[in-house]
Structure 1
Amino acid sequence: MLSSPSTHTTIHGFVVGPHNRIANAASLAIAEDPGNIYNPLFLYGPDGTGKTELLKIIKELIIKNHGCNVVLVNCGQFINHYVESVRNNGVEGFREFYDAADVLLLDDIQKLGTGRGCREEFFCIFNKLFNIKKQIVITANCSPEEFSTFEARLTSRFSWGLVCSIGIPDFETKVAIIENKADSLGLKLTREVSSYIADSVLDGFRDIENVLKALLKESKDGKSNVSASFVKKIMRGKSGNKGVVSVESILKTVSVRFDVSVSQILSKCRSREVVLPRQIAMYLSKRLTKMSLSEIGGYIGGRDHATVIHANRKISKLVKRDRGVLLTIKKLENEL
């Protein structure tokens, strides 16, 4: 597998690129010295960007190097465990299970937003573990400041250690991820094929994995070279017709229409020539994709959900009073 100078693959098969380099380094640091550095470690970013994979690597390394009691649980499991304990009058057992952890890894904590009782239990567990220097790692799809339904006393604790964002992988990193995953599945991909997949509708690890598994299933033996035409056929079948609209495809289409580069749209540039296409890209992403506002903002230059809301309101008003903008939006939607 060829790799870009900006990417590398760890011994665990985890591809490190510009989007996750700091998160990966922080994860390795706490695996080396749990409880004494970056505690808690809060990792956030869009779905499918490798947060869960990092938790698994942390667990594996800590158990191997320290023999600790590591509890890795996603938020859904945590909630179900709590509800079941309440139902069976076993809340004390629930508390004892988590209090006994040397390391607690909780995935997708934003899902605690609907359960105040669960949040209260987690608050108590967090305090107890933190006070005795037990390592805590939390993942979410947004930053602590965006947890509108969480109590401030809880979200403030998320920032006591290190808060680290994970972005959408760039094109080169996607290619490396695709080739690494294909190797693990026994699929032989040419650079043309892996580049085609990276350049299409894929936004993260899950989409990449789903397409590669579909290719594996459809290919005759799973070991032969997969041609570009074969990949296109499979991906057309998965998407139904013209293909699923992604933020990436929106960015590319908008950049061509306005004659600005995607990197300019993602940058912090505030000139009107860049701000308008950036806001239109956010507007179209909200209309045409299933991504959350935080995910859209994270993809488009690491911005927050409030920026996406502002862009959507701005373009919605422009569409009503500026026929030129309206026609541009319609043309872009037709192209997409």
Structure 2
Amino acid sequence: MDAAPREAWERVRRRLRAEIGEEVYSSWFPRLELDMIAAGTVRLSVPTRFLKTWLQQHYIDRLTALWREEMGVERVELIVRSAVLRPAGAAASVRPMNAAGFPAPSMSAAPARQAAEAARAGASGTPEVGSGSPLDPRLSFSTFRLGASNRLAHAAALKVAEAAAGSGPVFNPLYLHAAVGLGKTHLLQAIAAAGSEHGRSVVYLTAERFMYGFVAALKSQSSLAFKEQLRGIDTLVIDDLQFLQGKSVQQEFCHTLNALMDSGRQVVIAADRPPAELDALEERVRSRLAGGLVVEISPLDDGLKLEILAARVGALAQQHPGFAVPPDVLSYIARHCGQNGRDLDGALNRLLAHNQLTSRAITLEMAEMAVRDLVRPSEPKRVRVEDILRIVAKHYNVTRADILSQRRTANVVKPRQIAMYLAKMLTLRSLPEIGRRFGGRDHTTVLHAVRKIEGLVGSDRAMADEIEALKRLVNDD
């Protein structure tokens, strides 16, 4: 595929990201890839049918309009990239790389793979969830860059991946959480690939793939076979757990989780927040997840960003001989172009495009112009309800359990109401979500607390100063 369609795709991505916001874009669009352009049709691919259906229902018209404006195409088609069931010990298939350094679509092999999967599903009546979601061969332990923010997560993931076939679980479950683009998926796919190499039966699934498999099994009346597929493996790896929705799906996930762990199988999970903050999940699921090893991957520091940038530049240079980025430009990108690996990739792709299309040498001045719309102000700290509970409990010399309890003594009610007020002011949680986090209280209880503290802040100078002090403690934590 030549440069023009890739450049148009990058422009479509940027415009879409600007229109719908970073949070929505990061949740649904990072795995949407350009497959081909031919005869006035753009073909985009996604890893699961669930994602294809969701995008088809919500964004196909907007994607079509953007492509029409960029290249005059009249139709956008969504397809599902197929995943192939591999026997234990088999290596992941490696697709050839295109000029941008990403796996190139294999148009001749895709129909055969899809036909084989359809034949298997038709013969058994069971969705091929055992095939898992596709693995990216670039996401291995050898390509993962280490820093203070991710060292513990990497060590735990490596320990799990290198466990010998037949051995018991190492940390169960291993639960990794982090914001977008900090390496969760990289580590999970590395575990899946390395586990197979050590003779373990491993299935890597996104939460949406799990949902699709379960719903499809119910429709085909093969839910028992679906359960047996998952419960017969050595290691289950689930990515993006925050997207797991639906009571019946969550119940089945809980049953599968319990069955695997109770029988000594390894479970590895990643999400964008810790178990206690997955408000959409049932309490018993959150409790089981929190009982394992929970590890947070922190934002990248500048040193780790530089290491990642240097590695990515080296990979791009293999595809584009002569491509090089001066140290002062790498330092500028590390300092100003976001907090995660995807932001860094976007900046480097921008430099590569300017360098290749204009034949201009990469200088600091050129870089500042090329990535100016990627430069972001410092992102505010994400405040968690758990942090508020801990700081308020310590300040008022009560325990977290006291605040979450049903006790109504004055020494507990005041810090509880203040903590609810701070949760509403400093987080994006809704009143019902805050109520659930405070011992399963109704949203009207939270609303009463917020209004009461607001009234005191407006009429009592000492209370206003106290609240401001607590806000500083939470934000500086």
Q: What TM-score do you get using the length of structure 2 for normalisation?
A: 0.48
CA contact 1:189–1:225 (8 Å) conserved in 2: no
CA contact 2:141–2:190 (8 Å) conserved in 1: no
Per the alignment, do residues 195 and 122 of structure 1 end up closer, same or farther by CA in structure 2, a change over 3 Å counting? same
Give the Cα separation in 2 of the matches to 1:124 and 1:213. Answer: 44
**CA deviation profile, 1:259-318 (whole Å, cap 9, x unmatched):** xxxxxxxxx9x9xxxxxxxxxxxx9xx99xxxx859xxxxxxxxxx99xxxxxx99xx89
Q: Which residue of 1 aligns with 2:20?
A: none
Q: Which residue of 2 aligns with 1:14?
A: 144
Per the alignment, do residues 119 and 18 of structure 1 end up closer, same or farther by CA in structure 2, a change over 3 Å counting? same
Give the Cα separation in 2 of the matches to 1:27 and 1:148. Answer: 25
Q: Which of structures 1 and 2 has the larger relative contact order (alpha carbons within 8 angstroms, sep 6+)?
A: 1
CA contact 2:241–2:271 (8 Å) conserved in 1: yes
Asked if 1:110 corresponds to 2:110, the answer is: no
Q: Which residue of 1 aligns with 2:210?
A: 78
Give the Cα separation in 1 of the matches to 2:141 and 2:325. Answer: 21
Identical columns (%): 29
CA contact 2:276–2:290 (8 Å) conserved in 1: no
Give the Cα separation in 2 of the matches to 1:169 and 1:27. Answer: 18
Letter in 2 for 1:121: E
Asked if 1:233 corresponds to 2:369, the answer is: yes
Letter in 2 for 1:82: F
1:16 CA displacement: 0.7
Per the alignment, do residues 11 and 94 of structure 1 end up closer, same or farther by CA in structure 2, a change over 3 Å counting? closer
1:52 CA displacement: 0.3
Asked if 1:36 corresponds to 2:36, the answer is: no
CA contact 1:201–1:246 (8 Å) conserved in 2: no
Give the Cα separation in 1 of the matches to 2:221 and 2:350. Answer: 45
Indicate the structure (1 or 2) with the bigger Cα radius of gyration. 2
Give the Cα separation in 2 of the matches to 1:223 and 1:138. Answer: 45
Secondary structure at the aligned position of 1:17 is classed as: coil
1:230 CA displacement: 2.2
Asked if 1:191 corresponds to 2:324, the answer is: no
Give the Cα separation in 1 of the matches to 2:148 and 2:251. Answer: 36
Secondary structure at the aligned position of 1:12 is classed as: helix
Identify the match of residue 156 of structure 2 among 11, 21, 26.
26
CA contact 2:158–2:191 (8 Å) conserved in 1: yes
Secondary structure at the aligned position of 1:46 is classed as: coil
1:216 CA displacement: 2.3
Give the Cα separation in 1 of the matches to 2:342 and 2:358. Answer: 20
Q: Which residue of 2 aligns with 1:46?
A: 179
**CA deviation profile, 1:76-96 (whole Å, cap 9, x unmatched):** 221122222223323223212
1:70 CA displacement: 1.0
Matches within 5 A, 1:132-171: 132-171=263-302
CA contact 1:68–1:102 (8 Å) conserved in 2: yes
Could you tell me which runs of 5 or more consecutive residues in structure 1 were left unpaired when the two chains were aligned. 1-9, 252-267, 271-282, 295-304, 307-312, 323-336
Identify the match of residue 56 of structure 1 among 189, 192, 213.
189
Give the Cα separation in 1 of the matches to 2:311 and 2:210. Answer: 32
Per the alignment, do residues 76 and 163 of structure 1 end up closer, same or farther by CA in structure 2, a change over 3 Å counting? same
CA contact 1:216–1:222 (8 Å) conserved in 2: no
CA contact 2:141–2:187 (8 Å) conserved in 1: no
1:244 CA displacement: 3.8
1:175 CA displacement: 1.1
Secondary structure at the aligned position of 2:142 is classed as: coil
**CA deviation profile, 1:39-67 (whole Å, cap 9, x unmatched):** 11000111111000001111122111x22
Query: How many corresponding residue pairs?
Result: 251
For the aligned residues, what is the CA RMSD?
3.3
Secondary structure at the aligned position of 1:130 is classed as: helix
1:180 CA displacement: 1.2
Letter in 1 for 2:177: Y
Give the Cα separation in 1 of the matches to 2:238 and 2:355. Answer: 37
Give the Cα separation in 1 of the matches to 2:358 and 2:192. Answer: 31
Letter in 1 for 2:341: F
1:145 CA displacement: 1.3
Stretch moving more, 190-199 or 34-43: 34-43
CA contact 2:337–2:344 (8 Å) conserved in 1: no
Identify the match of residue 68 of structure 1 among 186, 195, 200.
200
Per the alignment, do residues 45 and 11 of structure 1 end up closer, same or farther by CA in structure 2, a change over 3 Å counting? closer
Letter in 1 for 2:176: L
